A and B are shown apart, each in its own frame.
Chain A
């Protein structure tokens, strides 16, 4: 009894009741509101049809029930009625197609964009390339492994947070050119009403113009393999000045990174950096402890490549291995990151080869 009361009380206390939202959200762009209005219009048309059809049905069932002596009519053909129930839905569908077409035409109008960004889906991360700015980066899931493994409480943005969000300016038309590198993915941000398949070899276009700065989250929405649920989309919309500042920062960082690549690193520095790179980029397949997943992803611990010639090891990381999930990391990682992760794999995870490689020796 006390148990039941506690349970009842705890149910009342659940704050989530207040956030209960069943309808789709209105979003933050003119297009998303248009889509929402269209959705509501068609929803109410469906409700009206449902009430009319089921109303007539239930009324007839009740009014002409057998206990009142109703006798079934045995007729077969009535061309007038048949034509009516064919033509009425036809007219309703055409009527709904008119506003739907108007909205679709707005959604497909990608002309006269202020910013062009190429979005590429990878297993399992997104790559964002700013076509006019020479900015190019990958966006990886940043939720800590401990939360995923239930060793830690999950934060509010669990599986909806990344290391490098896509940054776009507010009140500018931003065009997305969406494609994929390996398998089909799909880029989705509900608040923008943008959901577009990312298909290798094709470029799909979409666009947004967001009025309010803020952070908007979405997900990959085309089943794309083991970590499909672990490649979220995060978009940070900044005011025009903040965006300009961000672009300048990105360029400065790029210059600084180019300088780093010619520096000499100690073994400890490389190992410390390499551990971070390994956990963020490689552990999804080769696992945190380096044991891999038998049959799918080879172990790094004791691997003949990771404990063999260092040139072969560098080569598979830089160029990948065609036809396997082991992709070329030269686009995704800087020379410093590659040198660090190779050094880490050779001298950690149970390996102790003892050698190391400097970033300057990485040929991309």
Chain B
């Protein structure tokens, strides 16, 4: 469970473009590749959905 939380946090940091050296080393030593892939895809979908909903909401004011 902790693995997953950490993976999501790291992927989120990657989206922002900022990550600490300490976390990076931890991820590369203990992290599992598949967990990062799933977290990456999930957050990408989440981002797309956010943009989509945002546009829908804004357009509803037209």
Looking at the assembled complex, report how far the CB atom of B23 sits from the nearest CB atom of chain A, in whole angstroms.
9
Q: Which residues of A contact B (CB under 8 A)?
A: 76-77, 79, 82-83, 86-87, 101, 105, 109
Q: Which secondary structure dominates chain A's binding surface? A: helix
A81 CB to nearest B CB, Å: 9
* A77 near B17: Cβ-Cβ < 8 Å: no
Count B interface residues, CB 8 Å. 8
Contact with A along B9-29 (1 / 0, CB 8 A): 000000011111100000000
**In the complex, residue of chain A having the shortest beta-carbon distance to the beta carbon of B16:** A86
State whether B18 touches A105 (Cβ < 8 A).
Answer: no
What are 5 residue pairs bridging A and B, where the CB atoms are less than 8 Å apart in the complex?
Answer: A76-B21, A77-B20, A79-B19, A83-B18, A86-B17
User: Are B18 and A109 neighbours in the complex by a CB distance under 8 Å?
Assistant: no
Q: Which of B16, B21, B58, B62 contacts A83 (CB 8 A)?
A: B16
Specify which of B16, B21, B58 is in contact with A101 (CB 8 Å cutoff).
B58
Q: Are A105 and B17 in contact (CB under 8 A)?
A: no
Closest to A83 in B: B18
Q: Which residue of B lies closest to A98 (CB)?
A: B58
Say how far B34's CB is from chain A's closest CB, in angstroms.
Answer: 27
What 5 pairs between A and B have smallest CB-CB spacing?
A82-B18, A79-B20, A83-B18, A86-B16, A77-B21
Q: Give the number of residue pairs across the A-B interface with Cβ within 8 Å.
A: 16
Interface contacts beyond A86-B16, A86-B18: sample of 5 additional A-B pairs, CB < 8 Å, sorted by A: A77-B20, A77-B21, A79-B19, A86-B17, A109-B62
Write the residues of chain B forming the contact surface with A, with a CB cutoff of 8 angstroms. Answer: 16-21, 58, 62
| Contact A105–B62 (Cβ < 8 Å) | yes
For the complex, what is the distance from the CA of A145 to the CA of B18, rounded to whole Å? Answer: 62
CB nearest neighbor in B for A101: B58
How distant is the Cα of A181 from the Cα of B43 in the complex, in angstroms? 46
Contact B18 A79 (CB under 8 A): yes
Q: Report the bound CA distance from A194 to B17 in whole Å.
A: 38
For the complex, what is the distance from the CA of A83 to the CA of B15, rounded to whole Å? 12
Q: Which residues on the B side are within 8 Å of A77 (C-beta)?
A: 20-21
Contacts of B62 in A (CB 8 A): 105, 109
Question: Within the assembled complex, what's the spacing in Å between the Cα atoms of A197 and B48?
Answer: 29
Give the CA-CA distance A87 to B12 in the complex, in Å: 13
How long is the Cα–Cα vector from A86 to B18 in the complex, in angstroms? 8
Residue of B nearest to A90 (CB): B16
B14 vs chain A, min Cβ distance (A): 12
**Cα–Cα distance between A101 and B17 once the two chains are bound (Å):** 26
Query: In whole Å, how far is A117's beta carbon from the nearest beta carbon of chain B?
Result: 24
The CA-CA distance from A77 to B20 in the complex, in Å, is 7
Q: How far is the CA of A79 from the CA of B20 in the complex (A)?
A: 6
Closest A residue to B58 by beta carbon equals A101
